[in-house]
Structure 1
Amino acid sequence: MKVAVLAVQGAFIEHEKMLEKLGVECIELRKKEDLDKEFDGIILPGGESTVQGKLIKELGMEDEIKNKIKKGLPVLATCAGMILLAEEIANDDKVHLGLLPVKVKRNAYGRQLGSFYTEEEMKGIGKVPMTFIRAPYVEAVKCGTEIMAVVNEKIVAVKYNNMLAMSFHPELNESDKIHKYFVDMIINNK
């Protein structure tokens, strides 16, 4: 099994370390040609969604990433990655990949000082640590999107077909439960 991690900006190395801990091979997606390599899943990491969105467009990666996900490639999207995937962004008229049927609010928890940590239940996984850093949340889910976790009455994790997206950063904690769940999604997709 091989997982590609979008490595143009953000917390991609932390995801790679988590996958390596699970014995999963990683490749980094830095340029369009990297998308020609064989891989079984993709991670869209946290970071700056505006910068990531601009870079994947400028590097000619946006359409190919979008097509692979549309065709069923399993994707794990965290924080900025969730914004990249979202069909609608509440406080921004710019949409990037637009595949996940949700309405997301960017920087919903405010600036860096609004960052926090908690442990809550995630459907099908159990209690997981959740680190929120200038995080978005899901304002509304659409047509068949499953709510996976709620914190303080806000939707912070969702699943839709081959897409698992969350507001928080599972890669910044010791727990590998979410990455294991994602690996299982890939195995079940084969």
Structure 2
Amino acid sequence: MARDSVIAEQTPQARAAASPPRIGVLGLQGDVREHFAALEHCGAEPVNVRRASELDAVDALVLPGGESTAISKLLEVFELLEPLRARLREGMPAFGSCAGMILLASEVLDTRPDAQHLFGIDMTVRRNAFGRQVDSFETDLRFTGLDDGPVRAVFIRAPWVERAGDGVEVLATVPDGPFAGRIVAVRQGTVLATSFHPEVTGDLRVHRMFVDMVRDL
């Protein structure tokens, strides 16, 4: 039987399972290109999301690192804030790195009074918790659920999680030094967040974890 005939006879569920997940990258500001490349290497189909119609067409969304207050303002300008909140309430998987973690929080400390956030994870996040740009640093983290050794984490004006709700799984903390024990990676259901930037290191394991989460739905 020809390959096209086999595909035509598959159920819609089987065809969906055989297709790469369509994962949007919020394309308003920040590390959009780096997340695109990481998702492609993990077998997903990345899609630039700047409009509500584009958000409706994806299976999941990545919120990149950047400047959280600028992104929150652009979410309002592009009329994406409420549609994105609605998709998250409906169970859309999401992954936020650095500024994306801030946006996904239910409460944000040390931010502007007019900054918006998405209530995607029951957590309190402190913005710029590790200091200014000159205080950026790298360290190795043990990351729950990832094999093959520690994750090299790059922190750039990064937040940390001050409070993780009862339904939030802590995936990584700073191992030592003045910030030892600070929470820097969490997951609640199908929403994942890191205060560091896995998109800039070439280590694809965090992105692969997220892509696998989307495939498993």
TM-score range, shorter-chain basis? over 0.9
Where structure 2 has 5 or more consecutive residues not aligned to the other structure, the ranges are 1-20, 175-179
Instruction: Give runs of aligned pairs for residues 149-168 of structure 1, distance below 5 A.
Output: 149-151=172-174, 152-168=180-196
What is aligned with 1:70?
89
Give the total of aligned pairs: 188
Q: Distance in 1 between matches of 2:101 and 2:197?
A: 11
Distance 1:124 1:33 in 2: 34
2:143 maps to a residue whose letter is M
Find the residue that maps to 1:122 and give its secondary structure: coil
1:129-155: CA deviation from partner (whole Å, max 9, x where unpaired):
111000000011112111000002100
> Is 2:128 the counterpart of 1:107?
yes
Identity of aligned residues (%): 40
Q: Is the 8 A contact 2:73 2:116 kept in 1?
A: no
Pairwise CA RMSD of aligned residues? 1.2
TM-score (norm 1): 0.95
The correspondence of residues 117-132 of structure 1 with structure 2, limited to 5 A, is 117-126=138-147, 127-132=150-155
| Whole-angstrom distance in 1 between the partners of 2:120 and 2:142 | 25
Partners of 2:101 and 2:52 in 1: CA distance: 21
Q: Match for residue 82 of structure 1?
A: 101
Structure 2 counterpart of 1:4: 24
Structure 1 or 2: more strand by fraction: 1
Match of 1:125, SS state, is coil
